[in-house]
Amino acid sequence: MADVLSVGVNLEAFAQAISAIQALRSSVSRVFDCLKDGMRNKETLEGREKAFIAHFQDNLQSVNRDLNELERLSNLVGKPSENHPLHNSGLLSLDPVQDKTPLYSQLLQAYKWSNKKEQLSISRIFSRDV
């Protein structure tokens, strides 16, 4: 059975989540290395494009797999209990100004915009005729 602290955090899952973060960072680095290197070491332009796209897709799938694993592990880690004092940061939730600011809607709009931008950029990369 996994170690669980009294605060409700699964230590084994936490250690696995840290390893998953490292794997995700590594796979994201490989994506950027692939983009940095571009289409090299092939004789024909067609061969370079096909090799680049295949390598890039493999790297993106690796990022997706690592991100899914991290999300799965984050659900296993658990949340710390609310019994621990938050000191002054706990008072932020009592601030009435928070209710009057559109922070959540702005964050949601930025998230949607970022996802749309990412999808468009990926679709443009793969929409070229290979």
Distance, CA of 129 to CA of 56 (rounded, Å): 16
Tell which residue, 55, 57, 54, 67, has the closest CA to residue 26: 67
88 phi/psi in degrees, rounded to 5: -70, -25
Rounded distance between C-alpha atoms, residue 130 and residue 126, angstroms: 8
DSSP 20-79: HHHHHHHHHHHHHHHHHH-S-S-SSHHHHHHHHHHHHHHHHHHHHHHHHHHHHHHHHH--
Query: How is residue 85 annotated by DSSP?
Result: -
> What is the tens place of the pLDDT at every residue in 56-89?
899 999 999 999 998 888 888 866 555 555 555 5
pLDDT tens readout for residues 32-64? 888 887 766 656 677 778 888 888 899 999 999
Q: Looking up tokens 């409700």, which residue turns up?
A: 8
* Cα-based torsion angle of the residue sequence 8, 12, 16, 19 in order, rounded to the nearest 10 degrees: 100
State pTM to two decimals. Answer: 0.53
